[in-house]
Structure formats: C-alpha cells, structure tokens
Chain A
Amino acid sequence: MKTKFNGILTLLLAFVVQLTFAQEKTISGTVVDETNMPLPGATVVIKGTTTGTSTDFDGKYSITTNTGDVLTFSYVGYSEQTATVGAETTIDIALALDNSLEEVVITALGVKRKSDAVTSSNQQVKAEELTQANNPDVVQGLAGKVSGLQINTTSTGLNPNTDIILRGTSSISGENNALIVIDNVISTANTLSALDPNTIESANVMKGASGAALYGSRGGNGVIIVTTKKGSKDATKFTVDVKSSVTMEEVAYLPQRQDRFGQGWEGDLDWTDQGAWGPEFDGSLQVVGMPYPGATDWRLHNYNHIEDNIKPFFNTGVTYQNSVSLAAGDENGYINFSANKQDIEGLIPGNEYRKDFFNLNASKTAGKWKVSGITRYITSETDRTANGTYQSLSQTPTNVNIEDFNSGEFRDHWTLYATSPYWNLRNRRSITQTDRFEVQADLQYNFNDNINVILRSAVNSYSYKSLAYNNGFLDTEQTLGTDRSETSRFDKDKYSNRELYTDLIFNFDYDLTDDIRFTSLVGGNLNESSFDRLLLGGQNLTIPGLYTSSNLDGELDNRFQNEGLERGAAAYVAPSFEYKDYLYLNLTGRYEWDSKLNQDNRGFFYYSGGLSFVPTKAFPSIKGKAIQKLKLSASYTTTGNASGIDAYDINYRASQAPGFSHGTLNSFIANTTATDFNLVNEDVFTTEFNINADLLKINNKSRVTMDFAYYIQTNENQILSTSTSSASGLVGATINVGETETKGLEFDLGLTPLKTDDFEWNVNLGYATSETMVNKVTDDATEVLTRFYQAGNGAQVGTVGIYAIEGEEFPLIKGTAYTRDDQGRVVLDASGNPVRASQLQVLGKLTPDYIINFGTGFSYKSLSLNAVLDYRTGHSFYSNIASNLNEIGGTVESAQTGREAFLFPNSTIEGSGVTNTSVLTGGSTPAQYQSYVQRNYGYFDENFVLDATAVKLREVSLTYDLPTKLLKNTFVNKLQVGASGRNLYTWLPRENRGYNDPEVGTGLGNYGQTPPTRSYTVSLNIVF
C-alpha cells in the first residue's frame, strides 16, 4: 500500500512540476526494464531540481532540459540511473532490478520482513545456486555456499545422511543440527534431502539465534527456512519447466596402501589370510586365494603390488534426474505442480535408489480470505548390499587381483576368514521403501488493513519398511578345518510416524505516528509427534530366499516393538517497531511446553531483542558511489531446547533380560542407560553484532558487498548422553551438564571485479571462525566423554573419543598417547617398545581454526561458469580406516622400516635420562615386528589422529542459455544446457593418505558404504 501511494504521489508531484518549469531543450526516450519491457510510470527528474516527468504506457517520456543537466531515472523496485544530457536528443535507459534495497526475506513463522529490518545474521541462497551443479540433494547443494554453515556427511553411499551445522559445534550434547523449516512448518533434514531441488524457491539461512527464537526449543542452533516455488505470474497459460540431467559418479580416491609386502602372516606367505603380513614382494608366481572352480584349480599370480587393486570392484554410478513443473498464477492466486523422478545406479554393483516426487502448491485470494495449500508425496526405494562391503574390500592384500574372484560363488575368495564381497552383493542385501506424505493448509483472513489472522496446519507422515537378509551357505569342504558356513537370516522393520503442527497467528500492523510503524504477531502453536515401529527377524531359513517368519528353523530372535508420543505447545508474541525506514526494533517472547520433561520442568520461556539501524537511509548525505548501503544491527537472544531426549526417556526403565523368557519364566532387569528424571531444558544465550555494507557503486551495481557478524553464545544445562562409570549401574546417562561459551565471527565479501554489458565476473569469499570453550562440565566432573565408536550393542569400542574438558576448547579428541619425558622424547621400555600410560591424552580438536568459502562466477552473454571451493584447517580427526589398515599391515607406515627393527626417533629408554641411540624397536623377527605394529603402534590412538585440513573443489558448473533471439518464433521461452562437476578435486595433507574424507563422520572417520566420490553431470532445461 505504502509504496503504491508513494508512487502516485511522486507522479502527481512530477506532473505538477513539469507544468510549472518548462525549459529549452527537449529530450525524449524510452525507459525499459532488464528484459526490454517498457516501464510505464517511471520517474525522470533533473538532478538538483524538482523538475521531472514520468513515462507513459509505452515507457516513453519527454522532458525539456539544458545540456549538461543530469537526468535521474527511477522506478520502484529498480536501481536509480543517471544520464548527463549531451548533444543528443534521445536517451534510452534500461533500469536494473534493485534487489539490495527492498529485498524481502522470509523469517520465522512465515513473516516477510525487509532485509533492513532483520536484526540478526542471515544469508539467502537462491534456487540457481542450489541447483547449479545438479546435486540431487538440497542439503548437499548448500555445502560451501554459506559462511559458518557446515554440511557434514555422516555416511556415504546411495542416500547419504548429513549433519547441518551452523556456527560450529557449540553444544556438548551433539544436538548441533540446524532446524529445518519448509514452507513455514518445522520439518527435518531428511525431508529437505528428499525434496526435488528444482521446487525450491529460496533458502534463508538464519545463522543468528534471534531469527530462531520464535521457533523455540529446536531453533537454538540456527534455522534454515526453505520456501518452495509458488506458481508463475501468468494466469493465462501454464509455464512448463522441464529439466533433465545425467550424472556419472566415480571413486575419487582410495586409501594409500604399502606396496612392499603381500598376503600372509608373520612374514610367511599365507593364501588363506586377510592380512598383508607376508614376505616382501618378489614377483614370483604364488597361489592366491582358494582353488576355484575345482578343488584343485589353484590360481597363481605374480606376487606383486597392484595399485588400488580394489578399485575395479566399483562401477561408475549413474544418476538420472527428470523434473517437470507446471505453474500459473496472478495476484489473486497461483498453482504449481511439479514431479520429479530420480534414478541412481550406485557405485557398488547392483545398488539402486529410486525416488518419485510430486508436489502441488496452490493458493487463492478472494475478498478478505486467502487459502493456500501444499500437498507433497515422496516415495523412494533403496536396494543395496549390506554395510561393510567397502570395509571388507579395503582389507584385501594388494597382491590380490580381485577381478579373478568375481564369480560371486561363495567358495571363490581370496581369504578363508571373510565372505567374498562379490558373494555379499547377491546374498546380503537390504531393501527399504519409504513413503512421505505431507499436507499443509494456510487459511488467512484479513479483518482490515491492520489485522489479519492465519491458521496454518500441517500433517506430515512418514513411513518405511525394510527387509534385510543374509543368505546362508553350508560349507561342506571345510578347507583346513575351517567351517565357513554362513547362517541365513532376515529382519523386517516397519516404522511410521506422524507429525501434527498447527499455528494460529494474529498479525497487527499499525502506523502509530507518521514515522513509527508497529507490527506484531501474537500466536500459539500445538504440535504432536508420534511413531510406531515393529521389527521381527530370525535365522536359519528353511526355504532359501523366502523371508517370512514361518520359514524359520526355530523361533524369531528379533522381536521389537516401540511406539512413542510427544506433544508440545507454545504461545508467542513478536512486536516490532519501525522508525521511518532506518531504525528497527524487534522483540520476541515464547513460552513453551514439552511433554518429554517432568511436570515441574515442562514449561520454559525465552525471548529476544534486536535493533537495526541503516545510516545510509537515516543520513542520505553519506550515501554515494563509495557507500551505497550500510546497515548495523545487534541482538540478544535466549532459546531453550529439550531436543536431546525422546519421549519417556526421563523414566528409569527396565527391559526383558537377555535370553528370557525361558519357558514360563520371564524377567525384567534395569536398562543400562537412563536419563535424569529432573532433567531441564538447555538454555542458549546469544549476543550478536552485524555490519552489512554495499560499496563502490559503478554502473548501477555495487561492486563490493561486505557482511560481518560477530557473536558470543553461551550454552547452559546442556542435555548430554554421556558414558558413565559402570559402577553407577549404568553405562550411559543423559544428564544436564556444563556450560560452554562460543565466540565466532563470519565475514563475507562479495566482489564484482569486472562488469560490462556482456561480461560479468563475481567473486564471493566467506571466512568463518568460531571457538567453543568449556566453562563447566558437572558439579563433580571436569570432563565428559560425548561420543565414541559404538559396537552393535551400543558399547564403546576402543579408547578414542570426543570429550568436553573444563577450561579447554570443545570438542577435543582424546585417546591413548605415547608417554613422553619432559623433553618431549618418547619413552621406551628396555625392549624398545613405547611405554603405555593408561591415562588418555588430548590428541586434537575437531573444530577448524577457520573455514574459507570461495565462490566465483563468470558470465558472458548467456554463458556462465561457476565454481565453489572451500578450505578448512586447524583441526584433526581420528581415522578408523588408518587404524584398521594398520591392524592388517596395510598402511605405508607399517612397511616403512622394511619391517625390521629400527631406532625410534627422538626416544629415550625409561629411566635412562638420555636420548636413545642403541635400543631398537620392532623386534628381530617378522612375527615380533607384526606384533609391534599391531599391539604397540596400533595401541596408540595418537598414530591415527590426523590433520583434517582439506581443500575441496565442491562444484564447477557451466551453463549456456540459448539466446532469446533464436527462440523468438518458437513456443520455447528458455533453453539451457549445462555441464557440471561435484567434488572434482580434494586436497588432503600428507598424513591423511586418502583414508577418509575428514568431513565424513564428524571427527571419528569410519568406513562408509563407499569411498569418497566425484561426479560429472550434463543437464538440459527447457521452459515453455
């Protein structure tokens, strides 16, 4: 309303002005927009005067002026342009859309705010940026594009899981994931991953907590607000957008292996073994693996190192994506239908993933009512081999030519002590089908210009069913007396959940005075989440390949049922005040109830306050070419959070004792983990300062943008699931612990070094750093283990773990370390073995010193080239792969001394006080050396904590739009072809010999389903 009124006023003014002051020379011309469409009603004013005119319906104007005068052309929503009157009589002007000035962002609960009015740090990621490299996963498409945002893949393979972490890991509890909000309803990262990236309009990454304060308990770690596309602006016909792409994926790198020793044990050749503890390679012909196909068909091979010998196992993965969307709309409504099909043939032969996606968005405004709705259905099927394929492959001695063993027959294998990965491909699989159905309706009623009410309700349901099976094998040969029989089994798992989410929001908008505008929302929320899970399984199938409970020789051994229900509610208010167009005050308050906590702790309150000031609008005189825009903002936010626990957790519960029931005798015993009954919500307090500036305006474009944010965040009463002293009767407990303080800053620099009519070069540089200090752990402990490797039963494996230690940075890796004397020399015992101390030592930290994001884009006419790269350094990770390879004699380090005794560098013999120059380490026989590597070197976690520095070229994309000229007489409006690559290049430091992508596994690097990959895509996009 306001802007419209201003426009009319200006017009009127201009009209009056024109009548009054007529001058000598007449200039005429046309004002058009970026797409050469005429702009009617644009204002043309002689600079320094009040003389002006406006354009007619064809964008034409004429104005009488003097040579040397400067004409200013302006139009609402477009950047102002100037032209100096010379000898000419015609001045045609094309105005460019001005995004920076009136940019509107969608903030919490769907409230649209001018970016000036937002008081905490946020960064918009546009649809094109998300999809430029055709990443099928929206979440991964965000990687490297927002400073302070880390996308950590927690698994690799067909449908990888990711952690979305904003501003580092400040919470000890590990609940560091940002909240995902899709179309104003709280959702999950999994749902976001499941969306078709092409349906996304924009993603607003609200880094600061104040944007999140209204989302309450789950918003403490920042929010990513995703909005899907809402129709087109043309009601007369449907815009049809078709996009297709094909992606090829290949293994990027494999762990480097030692190239001197092959299959064997303790220095002897052993064709049955998995270990690479054999003699040195000599090229001689040797038996490899078991005889096949006949019992005497021994296979002989030259005993030599084969580089990356397991690579031939992997395929080139192929991903097909096809999307189509139909959109139409006008100011009273829109409709948008989209469908997407994704087909992935995985890196591992036979692995497949298929996803179908349907989305319908529609809205209609009629009178004072507005109704909009979203319906979404996503179904997927994953068919893949069981976990562990890559792990078992990686242990293959390097002299084994694995393609010789690819028949898939059980007997056809290179070792007696594992099943063949080729056999596993067909006989150990899991098939999962998921269905996600989401319905959302927004009902809005405008009472008048000042008050409206919105009722927003969503029902999201998700279910999966999976079948995992192992086929059996009866070993009748029993080579060397080893029974290699495999037991058949199957497990079926059915899960469904349902989320109900309702907001009722009243919006108020009043001009208190001419200069002060007051807006506020007052509302409430109800939410409910429930799930139901049933599992059953058993072993020894009577009829092979029939996976049903009746087909078992015996009873089911996996019977599990679990259901859960939790409810929450909230009441909230968010008043804001605007003074003129340059001073904003935002306040929020939210009271929340959470059924997971006990009655006394169930309700909690948090609030935020933020102030933003735009000097370039308050003092227009400072605005000029050098400084186009300047914005300062600060905010203070508190949020609460009880997301670290599930429903019922606060009860100390019992479970059926293992092995029971025996006949009619049943027994229940205490669970080995428990949650403090008096647990309270976590509190997060954030103070934040931001500076945003647009600088150096040349040819209507700010060539430099700068965004700076500094924040201090304190987390208290964190909900942590920690491992405890078993003497407590628990192996793990969830308790409130500690206090951490995080300080961080983010700096984003946007540059346009070159811009001509045809050519533009943009550079984005993001720098983010944060440091979290632990101020307190608990009343009676100064450190706590927050994460460790888990065995199947949840028990801790090994000694390495992630810790929070009072007075130290968080998170830290602790594990076994060499005993060193005061001069830093490694202490050896009399036989040359490093001495073990049982206390664990700090071996590294998980948070990088800083992360640099670098993005650049070149466009020449309709050709554009974009690249995204990032660099993280200063942190470490523990490589379980390195440790595993050490155990089997596969690491370069395990062969470095030729597997002979060596002088341990910078060492001292215990008690001697002098540097060791004579006592050798490693023993005198191959057996002793192997023992040294496995039991001594392998004991020290320190040896496997590696530099996590990485440079990743995440995306490179090239797109070409067919010039509109060529399409003029066709029904096609746009035709774009593209080629892109993802993760094309990764640089790792020397000590990480390709073991792990350090960002996979967040600090404790393990095997995924596959090694790290890179991929190449070609795509085609047609709009008509």
Chain B
Amino acid sequence: MKKIYKIASVFLIAASLTSCENYFDVNTDPNNPLVESTNPEIVLPGAMTTTGATLTSRMNRLGNLMVGNWGGNVLNFSGPFDAEFKYDLTSSFYNDVWDNLMVRTVNYTNIINYSGDGQNYNNHKAVAQIMRAFYFQYLVDMYGDIPYFGKHLATEGLNPAYDDAQVIYRDLVTELNAAIALIDASAGSNALPLGASDVMKFGPGSGSMDDWKKFANTIKLRVLLRQSNMTDADTQNHITSELAGMSSADFVNTNVTLNPGYSNDSSNGKQNPFYATYGFATNGSFAGTSNSLVAPTVYAIELLDGINTGIQDPRLSRLWTAEGNPNTHQGLEQGQLLAGLPLGGDTVLSRLGAGLGVDVASDAGASQDAYIMTAAEALFLQAEAVERGYITGASQALFEQGIRSSFNLLGLFDADDLDNDGNPDNTVSDYITASAYTNTLGWNGSANKYEAIAQQKFTALMSINGAEAWIEYSRTGFPTDLPISLTETSGGLRPVRLLYPASELSGNSANVPSQTTSTGFTSKIFWDVN
C-alpha cells in the first residue's frame, strides 16, 4: 500500500501543476496602459508638448542656420555647426525633425480615432485635427511629397505610400474646415470641455473653443498664402473658393504658446524646450546644453543695429547679448574660423539674448511659454492677406500691430521707462515712426509692401521660429540680401528642402522617392515658384 501512496503522490504533484483555465491569460501589461484605453484628455498634453518641442528647438535651430541668422561660437567650439554651414544635406541631416513630427503626431490621430469610454471628446478631436494639420504643413514645407493618406496606421501599415505635396495641402484645408465644423457642432452639446488637458495658451491664458477656431483659420490662411505665388488657375480657384467661406472668419491676434507647466528641472525634461536646449541646466551650468554654441551672424547684427538702414532696432539688445568692454554686439560669418577673428583678450561674441529668456540661468526662463505661433506672425499673415485682397481689413494697421507685437514679445513696451526719467520710453512707437519711411522696414517707405511684411516677419521670427523664416524665405525671396555660408559646398545654393531621412531609406525603401544631394538645392517645394 505504501508504494501506491508514493506513486500517487508523484501524480498528485504533477496534477497540481497542470493548467487551469486562466493559466495563460497573463499577458496584460502591469507596467503600461494600452493606447486604446488612454483617452484624449490623457493624450492631448503629451501630444502637444512633444510636437511643440521639435518646432521650438530643432526646427528653430535648423531655420536660423539656414537663413544666416545664427553663427557658431568658434571661441568655445572647433567647427561649430560644421555640417549646417556646409549645407551638408544627407539623409541624417536633421532627420530627427521628420521622425519626431511623424511619430509624435500619431497621438493626434489616436485622439481623432478614439472610441473608448463613451464620452464625447469632439472638442479634443477638433483640436487634434487642427494641430495635426499644423505640423503636416511643416512636413510638406520641408520635404515636399510625404506619406500622408496612409499615415499613422501603426503595425497595419508600416510602409505607407507617398502622396503629392499639393494634394496634401488641399487635404490640410479640408481637415481644418472639418475641425471648425466639429467645434461649431459641438457647441452646447455634451462634448467634454478641454479643461486642463489644453496646454495651449492664447495670450496670457487658456483659450476657448473660439480661440481654437481662430487658430484653425489662421493656419488655413497660412496654407493658402503659402500658395499665393502660384498663378495656375486651379490653385487660384482653390484659394478663392476657400476664402469665400472665410469672409467672417476671425484670426489669432495673440501669441499661441504652449505651457504644460514647464519648470526648472532639466534632468526630468520639464524645462521649456528652447530654454532646455539653449539655456542652462537646473544647476545653472550650461554643460549639456547648446547655450555657448550659438553666436549671431554679422548679418543678424547689422540688420538691427542700423548700420545699413540708419534705423536702430531696439530688439537687437533683446535678441542678442552685448559682450566685452565696451559692451558691443559682436557677430561673425557662418563658417568663419577662430583664426579669422581678431585675437586677444577682448575677442567676444554675443549670445542669445534676454528677450528670449535664455541669457541667464533662471526659473523664469525655464518655465516660460513655448512659441507655437506668435501674434506677430499671425498679424503679418493677415496684413499680407489683406494686401492681396484675400480678406478685408487695414493692412498697414495689421503690419504695425505685428511689429508692436514682436517688440512686446521680446519685452519692449511703449510704457517702459528704461532710462528712469519718469516718462514712458515709447520704444515701439518711436521705432515704427522712425522706420515708417525706410524701404523694406516701414510701410510707407516700402514700394513693395510684401517685402516690408516679409522683412518684418523675418525679424519677428528670429530665434523664435527659424523654420518658418526659412520656409517663408523660400516662398517670398525676402530678405533679398541674405548671406550664404562661407563654407558652403553647394556652389552658392541655399537648401530649399531637407532630404528624406535615413529611416525612410531603410524602413520604407520601396516607396521613398530617389534623391541626390542636389535635390535639396534645386528641387523646390511646389509652392516655391521663385
């Protein structure tokens, strides 16, 4: 009998180990939520901040370098911005811009497609649609044809086909119209308010859904204006018909900024992304940042210091620090070597200035708002649209408001009393008055109003949205005197686009159009008819 017990015990042990029903149902992740269960309220802040970071740091840097605004600080680095100043276009050149925008905008798509928990998220969905269109315009503006209609399918579509840039542009307008319609339809419905999940600010505070509509209209206006130089009937008809629906549209007149609650914590990535890149670490050092990498170009200084125009622009000392003894604003040419500078103890170069909030280690700089679209840009867009007859309004007033807004953004106000004489300085008004009759700077003095608008927009975008400045330069050809880098290797050509990134060459080889280096200099984006 004993033996039987022994044998039985063997089998009992075995039986106790055999599977019960739920034995294999252990594949639910205890560490991470599922995409399908993260609702738009949870996703929206992260979607906005990740995409915004690319715009305000990397795209900003790229643009400022491409338009000759930023030079490299050769005092602290050998060969700073070497690849940029050589216009060394390759599939690795700023490939992160493509990768980050493409990948992070999937969160907008996931919001738009969300069908969980039974709540009405139409407000969130409209906002996601607007923001996605906003970033896809940039993708088209920098790359031309891109995968668009087959995008964001995750494992269901790993090799999306390329779509024609112009067709995408049309669809961006369709998307923006749909978003506006969704906002209108959701008013008074049970749609959840954006609440805290809206980390975008219109002016000093969070926006209403009306503000989002204005923003959508402004982006739409930018899309249409980008094509304004195209003379073909189809494009003109498209612009005309879209404008017809915008007769009573309102546009953004405030800075559209992002702030999820930035704070001075560099190691956790909580700083404003521009400050995190070009400012200081939490402990006040600039180790690990690009703070000391950037210096102004001679062009950037001379554009503002009045040496060519006689109009001193007070924004100079807000955009760039004065260094040395006596304090001067000192720049250099792109690609210039240390050897080319006057040697000695007083060799200095200006750095990014106080108006940008990155000149000193400060909690204020680290927690400042990130600029998605400045009021100045929106106002200059409106000024140009009025001037072109797209919308109604007073173009000069909008233009001057744009300048005023640019000054304000950098911390310059008429009411300031910097000289402590007890009277307001009238800094902005004085500049507008002084420059009014100067060609390319002032409204009255400029024969070509578009050039004045473009020139002022260029200044207003300096170090704030370089990518927009670069794209607008391609569209308008203004400013006309933009310098080319000393070390360019492109036969005097400035890049007009980026090349498709390495990830496309390797991950989407069947679809990615073939390009050579010269594509980046000669193959213009469809709206670029200069």
Q: Which residues of A contact B (CB under 8 A)?
A: 265-266, 268, 270, 272-273, 275, 369, 417, 443, 445, 453, 455, 480-487, 489, 502, 504, 524, 526, 538-540, 553-555, 557, 561-567, 569, 593-596, 598-599, 602, 647-648, 650-660, 662-672, 674-677, 722-731, 733, 735, 778, 780-783, 785, 788, 795-796, 798-799, 801, 803, 814, 816, 819, 830-831, 833, 835-840, 927, 931, 934-935, 939
Most buried by B among A724, A783, A798: A724
Q: Judge whether A729 and B503 touch: CB under 8 Å.
A: no
Q: Judge whether A798 and B92 touch: CB under 8 Å.
A: yes
Query: What are 21 A-B contacts defined by CB distance under 8 Å?
Result: A455-B13, A455-B14, A486-B287, A554-B265, A593-B19, A662-B270, A668-B43, A670-B107, A670-B110, A724-B158, A724-B503, A724-B508, A725-B504, A725-B507, A727-B102, A728-B152, A729-B154, A798-B502, A816-B90, A831-B489, A838-B516
Q: Judge whether A935 and B86 touch: CB under 8 Å.
A: yes
B286 interface contact, C-beta 8 A: yes
Q: Judge whether B263 and A833 touch: CB under 8 Å.
A: no
Which of the segments B25-33, B219-227, B380-388, B469-477 contacts the partner chain? Answer: B25-33
Q: Give which listed residue, B35, B91, B491, B507, contacts A785 with CB less than 8 A.
A: B507
Q: Judge whether A799 and B505 touch: CB under 8 Å.
A: yes
By a CB distance below 8 angstroms, the chain B residues around A671 are 32, 35
A663 to B199, alpha carbons, bound, how many Å? 13
Q: Judge whether B270 and A731 touch: CB under 8 Å.
A: no
By a CB distance below 8 angstroms, the chain B residues around A723 are 503, 506-507
A333 to B249, alpha carbons, bound, how many Å? 93
Q: Judge whether B153 and A788 touch: CB under 8 Å.
A: no
CB distance from A166 to the nearest CB of B (A): 28
A670 to B51, alpha carbons, bound, how many Å? 13
B445 interface contact, C-beta 8 A: no
Q: Judge whether A662 and B263 touch: CB under 8 Å.
A: yes
Most buried by A among B28, B44, B47, B99: B99
Near A by CB (< 8 A), chain B positions 25-55 give 25-36, 38, 42-47, 49-50, 53
* With A651-B34, A669-B107, A725-B159 already in contact, 10 other A-B pairs whose C-beta atoms are closer than 8 Å: A485-B285, A557-B268, A563-B30, A567-B23, A659-B270, A669-B104, A725-B158, A728-B155, A728-B159, A729-B153
A487 to B282, alpha carbons, bound, how many Å? 11
CB distance from B343 to the nearest CB of A (A): 12
Which of the segments B75-83, B170-178, B207-215 contacts the partner chain? Answer: B75-83
Q: Judge whether A652 and B154 touch: CB under 8 Å.
A: yes
By a CB distance below 8 angstroms, the chain A residues around B260 are 659-660, 662, 665, 667
By a CB distance below 8 angstroms, the chain A residues around B47 are 657, 667, 669
Q: A727-B146, A931-B86 are in contact. Are A665 and B26 (CB under 8 A)?
A: no
Q: Judge whether A554 and B26 touch: CB under 8 Å.
A: no
Residue ID in chain B nearest A935 by CB atoms: B88
A561 to B30, alpha carbons, bound, how many Å? 10
B7 interface contact, C-beta 8 A: yes
Q: Judge whether A935 and B283 touch: CB under 8 Å.
A: no
By a CB distance below 8 angstroms, the chain A residues around B292 are 481-483
6 nearest CB pairs, A to B: A657-B46, A729-B106, A662-B261, A667-B46, A725-B508, A557-B267
Q: Judge whether A275 and B155 touch: CB under 8 Å.
A: no
Q: A504-B14, A724-B159, A733-B158 are in contact. Are A657 and B49 (CB under 8 A)?
A: yes
Q: Give which listed residue, A555, A664, A798, contacts B268 with CB less than 8 A.
A: A555
By a CB distance below 8 angstroms, the chain A residues around B322 are none
By a CB distance below 8 angstroms, the chain A residues around B500 are 838
Q: Judge whether B36 and A796 touch: CB under 8 Å.
A: no
A177 to B440, alpha carbons, bound, how many Å? 68
B487 interface contact, C-beta 8 A: yes
Secondary structure class of chain A's binding surface, majority of residues: mixed
A653 to B31, alpha carbons, bound, how many Å? 10
Q: Judge whether A837 and B25 touch: CB under 8 Å.
A: no
Q: A668-B38, A723-B507, A799-B502 are in contact. Are A538 and B13 (CB under 8 A)?
A: no
CB distance from A1016 to the nearest CB of B (A): 43
Q: A659-B270, A799-B502, A935-B83 are in contact. Are A780 and B159 (CB under 8 A)?
A: yes
Q: Judge whether A648 and B28 touch: CB under 8 Å.
A: yes
By a CB distance below 8 angstroms, the chain A residues around B262 are 662
Q: Judge whether B6 and A654 touch: CB under 8 Å.
A: no
Q: Give which listed residue, A659, A729, A837, contacts B49 with CB less than 8 A.
A: A659
Q: A595-B26, A840-B506 are in contact. Are A653 and B151 (CB under 8 A)?
A: no
By a CB distance below 8 angstroms, the chain A residues around B182 are none
B103 interface contact, C-beta 8 A: yes
A669 to B43, alpha carbons, bound, how many Å? 5
By a CB distance below 8 angstroms, the chain A residues around B199 are 665
A57 to B25, alpha carbons, bound, how many Å? 65
By a CB distance below 8 angstroms, the chain A residues around B106 are 670, 729-730
A835 to B516, alpha carbons, bound, how many Å? 8
A562 to B32, alpha carbons, bound, how many Å? 9
Contact with A along B266-287 (1 / 0, CB 8 A): 0111100000000001110111
CB distance from A667 to the nearest CB of B (A): 4
A486 to B288, alpha carbons, bound, how many Å? 9
By a CB distance below 8 angstroms, the chain A residues around B35 are 652-654, 670-671
A598 to B286, alpha carbons, bound, how many Å? 49
Q: Judge whether A647 and B46 touch: CB under 8 Å.
A: no
B422 interface contact, C-beta 8 A: no
Residue ID in chain B nearest A655 by CB atoms: B32
B10 interface contact, C-beta 8 A: yes
CB distance from B342 to the nearest CB of A (A): 16
By a CB distance below 8 angstroms, the chain B residues around A553 are 282-283
By a CB distance below 8 angstroms, the chain A residues around B5 are none
Q: Judge whether B31 and A563 touch: CB under 8 Å.
A: yes
Q: Judge whether B281 and A838 touch: CB under 8 Å.
A: no
Q: Judge whether B99 and A781 touch: CB under 8 Å.
A: no
A800 to B265, alpha carbons, bound, how many Å? 36
By a CB distance below 8 angstroms, the chain A residues around B18 are 524, 526
B448 interface contact, C-beta 8 A: no
A431 to B199, alpha carbons, bound, how many Å? 42
Q: Judge whether A727 and B508 touch: CB under 8 Å.
A: yes
Residue ID in chain B nearest A927 by CB atoms: B337
By a CB distance below 8 angstroms, the chain B residues around A268 are 339
A567 to B196, alpha carbons, bound, how many Å? 42
A887 to B368, alpha carbons, bound, how many Å? 38
Q: Judge whether A939 and B90 touch: CB under 8 Å.
A: yes
Q: Give which listed residue, A489, A653, A672, A788, contacts B32 with CB less than 8 A.
A: A653
